[in-house]
Chains A and B, each alone.
Chain A
Amino acid sequence: MTAVRCVDLCKTYRQGDEDIKALDHLSIEIDSGDFVCLMSPSGGGKTTLLNAIGGLDLPDSGEVWVGDQRVDRMSKGELADLRLANIGFVFQAYNLIPVLTAQENVEFVMQVQGVPSAERRSKSLAILEEVGLEGLESRRPAEMSGGQQQRVAVARAIVSRPELVLADEPTANLDSRTSAELMELFVALNEHHNTTFVIATHDQSVMKYTRRLVRMRDGRIVEDIAQHAA
């Protein structure tokens, strides 16, 4: 079953007097439960593709489908609903709401979804334990390390069991040990929950954890290979 389908996507940004083609007639299909790494140098188009899939940014032309829903034709409200119900996000930085504790951050999406309080509490505690943050539930982001914050972000992204998790440079601000721990966590979650992961990165060490490597350059896919994860 196809989790994501992009057809002939184009997106151009204006930078000064220059037009930058972030996506250049790009097409890609990602199966449900897949673990994909989008890799490119800076400006290669991976973040733009991730944003288009997540409905954070609209392409100039082409089609974006998540499951059977056409994303590029949705209103702002419909996009918000899609993200809330179907997609988990992990960003490079500024991932957490600073005025909420780790547990409240994890519960945030469920609370917006209307999950009852007791269920929220049990799910959030369980997922925090799963990502190795037991005992840090009441800490605020400023009281946690970068790695711990990313783990909270991951916990929040997967706690409501989205079909798709989009991670943009999740290891960029982490040391190599913490990066490895985070990627192992992604792999475990992918295997245990069959969640589709799409990770945009230029960190070479990340690709060994993924089952599919998509290399991009100048808004185009230049290589798309299946591989054995570490």
Chain B
Amino acid sequence: MRMLSVLSRLAWRYLWRNHRRTIVMLGAISIGAWAMIFMTALTRGMVDQMILDGISALPGHVQVHHPDYLDDPSINNLLPLDDEELERRFAGAGFVAWSSRVKVPAVITSERESRGVTLLGIDPAAERGLTFIDEENIDGRFLEGPDDKGIVIGAKLARTLETEVGKRVVLMSQDPDNDIADRGFRIIGLFHASMPDHEDGYVFVGKRVAQNMLRIGGATTEVVFLGDDYRNVEPTYEQVLAAVDGSVSVKRWNEVATYLGSMLEVMDGFVVIWVIVIFLALSFGLVNTLVMAVFERVREIGLMMALGMKPSAILGQIILESMLLLIVGLAIGDLLAWASIQPIKDGLDISIVAEGMEMMGASSILYPKLLLQDVVLANVVVLILGFLASLSPAWRASRYEPVEAITKV
């Protein structure tokens, strides 16, 4: 502790001995740290939005299906648990939200066009928070209950079908006996979604209306559960798993939407790679600064050794100098990153590249996400790598022979 106090004072003073060089190096470290954190927050925000969009495109955090449903999402793979049984098992279990649905392939036909879609029979009250539908952003209105006889389709689909609110369409699918099940619906609303595929591919009707049309009684095809955090779905998964038996399959969202799950893993890896790449660029400056700092005070290092300072203390002093430089630079960089994220935390309009973003499954408003874990990761990685980078000049300094160092010209 006493040596740490001596070394800290020396390291700090030596750092500011050549203040111009230190300021330049601090600038480089700060900008590097800012770039690491700011870019990570932007990328994290983009991926988060893609995942949240993906999750809001119906998978929720945990899903329950018939074991064969994911391979063959048809009416033949109904859940063996009807609405009453589901209600008995899951109502009041403390999920953020949960809902059972009828979700089957269907064909929608207007007077001009037909399209293949996914028919969703839902209870709109239970679906809040589980779908991508923004009820405030609907032309017309959304479904009012499971018995609502209207249909809500995407605005893009409406354009394709050359239809509009108030007009009638026909939905056609199969019942469990493979007979045609069809019904006419009046369009009561057109929804808008950040993802064009959503507007094109889904149609919403009341759950009981769908069950009647498909002649499946109180049966559904999937139950969806929402927990607190999509990154930590295990508590929700375990809770659901405990409430069902082997006759159904329980899946986490990243098992259902494997593309989204992989994206999250890639993102986590990308953050580490990004931090390391920036550090590598910084490390040249850092090592150069330390080598110069050691080189220009060889005699003083010799003097300290002559006065009784051990080689290990010299080693510690140079490493401490590097750590202080990094800590100050990182603190400034962290602050800069935080300050530059504040003005855009409510969304950055990147509609200029919206088409490309939508192709990747992201919306055109980017919400930067500054995660403490990313800031900690960037800082810890830089400090660890900085420590390793400073070992060589520090080791060299500690290996000087006092008598040679003192007489160095």
Contacts and interface: CB of A to CB of B under 8 A. Distances in A.
Interface in A90-145: 91, 94-100, 104, 108-109, 111-114
Interface range for B? 20 to 34
B300 interface: yes
A77 interface: yes
Interface string A69-83: 000000011001111
Contacts of A112: 3, 6, 307-309, 313
Interface residues of A, number: 29
Interface string B1-38: 01101100110011001000000000000000000000
Contacts, number: 69
B310 interface: yes
Given A51-B403, A112-B3, A99 B10 contact: yes
A77 B307 contact: no
B150 interface: no
B6 A80 contact: no
A56 B403 CA distance: 5
A56 B10 contact: no
B303 A76 contact: no
A89 interface: yes
A77 B311 contact: yes
A80 B303 contact: no
A56 B300 contact: no
Interface string B383-409: 000000000000000000111001000
Q: Which of A91, A96, A99, A109 has the most CB of B within 10 A?
A: A99
Contacts of A98: 17, 300
B13 A80 contact: no
Nearest to B300: A97
A3 interface: no
A76 B402 CA distance: 10
A11 B251 CA distance: 80
A45 to B, nearest CB: 14
Nearest to A85: B308
A89 B10 contact: no
B95 to A, nearest CB: 60
A170 interface: no
B292 to A, nearest CB: 16
A77 B306 contact: no
A83 B6 CA distance: 18
Q: Which of B10, B303, B306 has the most CB of A within 10 A?
A: B306
A102 to B, nearest CB: 14
Contacts of A57: 401, 403
Contacts of A104: 9
A76 B311 contact: yes
Contact of A91 (B9, B401, B406): B406
A80 B303 CA distance: 11
Contact of A99 (B6, B17, B306, B309): B17
Contacts of A96: 303
Nearest to A157: B307
Nearest to B398: A76
Given A81-B308, A94-B406, A104-B9, 11 more contacts: A77-B311, A80-B308, A84-B308, A96-B303, A97-B10, A99-B14, A108-B307, A109-B308, A112-B6, A112-B307, A112-B313
Interface of B: 2-3, 5-6, 9-10, 13-14, 17, 299-300, 303-313, 401-403, 406
